[in-house]
Amino acid sequence: MVRLLTHNMLQCHVKNCTNGFPLRFQDPVIEQHEQEINKEFLVNMLPRIDWNALRTTVDQLGLPELPAAVPENPAEDEAFLAALHRALMEVNIQSGSMVCPECEHVYPIRDGIPNMLLSEDEV
C-alpha cells in the first residue's frame, strides 16, 4: 500500500540520472481505503508536496483531477482538503512497480512496500 503521499517523496537514484521524478506507476493495483480525514496533518504536509508531480500522477492513474494550483488559503477550503485527502491518503498502490521517467529503471512494490534498493553497479 504505497500511498501517493509517499510516492511524492521518492526519486530515482541511479547514477547519472538527474531527472527521475516523479516515478511513473506500472501495472498498479489500486485500492481506495476510506480513512478519517486529518486536516491539520494535510495542511502541515502541503509545503512538502510537489504539487505538479502529484497532479501528474493522479492523471496517470486515471483518478479525479486535482486543481491546477493549491488555493491561497487551503486550511479553509473544505472541498480542496477532501480532494487532497482522497488522493494523498486514501489511494493505495498494493502492487506493481514504479518506473523512472528518465532512465526507465524499475522499482518494484513488494508486500505494499516500495523497494528503492539498487545494486552497487547502478549507484
Partner 1 sequence: MLATPDLRHLTADDYDHIYEPAEDTFLFLDALEEDMEAVLAPRCPRICLEIGSGSGCVSTFLAMHLKTPTLYLTTDINPRACTATRRTAAQNRVVHRLEPVRTDLTAGLLPRLRGAIDVLLFNPPYVPTEVAEVVTADTAATDPSDLLAATWAGGQLGRVVTDRVLLQLPELMAPNGVAYLVLLQENKPDEIATMMAKLGFDMTIVMRRRAGRERLMIARFSRTIE
- Which residues of the chain form contacts with partner 1 (CB under 8 A)? 3, 5-6, 9-13, 21, 35, 38, 40-41, 43-45, 47-48, 50, 89, 107, 110-120, 123
Q: Which is nearer to partner 1, 15 or 62 (CB)?
A: 15
Cβ-based neighbour number of residue 38 at 10 Å = 13
By beta-carbon proximity to partner 1, the closer residue of 21 and 51 is: 21
Helices (H), 8-87: 39-45, 51-60, 78-85
- List beta partners, residue 106: 99
Give the distance, in angstroms, between the CA of residue 8 and the centroid of all CA atoms in the same chain. 4
Instruction: For the CB of residue 66, give the shortest distance to partner 1 in the complex, in Å.
Output: 19
Question: How far is the C-alpha of 18 from the C-alpha of 21, rounded, in Å?
Answer: 9
Would you call 26 helix, strand, or coil by DSSP? Answer: strand
**Closer to partner 1 at the Cβ: 47 or 62?**
47
Nearer to partner 1, 62 or 111 (CB): 111
Cell of residue 92, nine digits? 493505495
> Shortest gap between Cβ of 70 and partner 1 (angstroms)?
15
Q: Would you give the end-to-end CA distance of the chain in angstroms?
A: 26
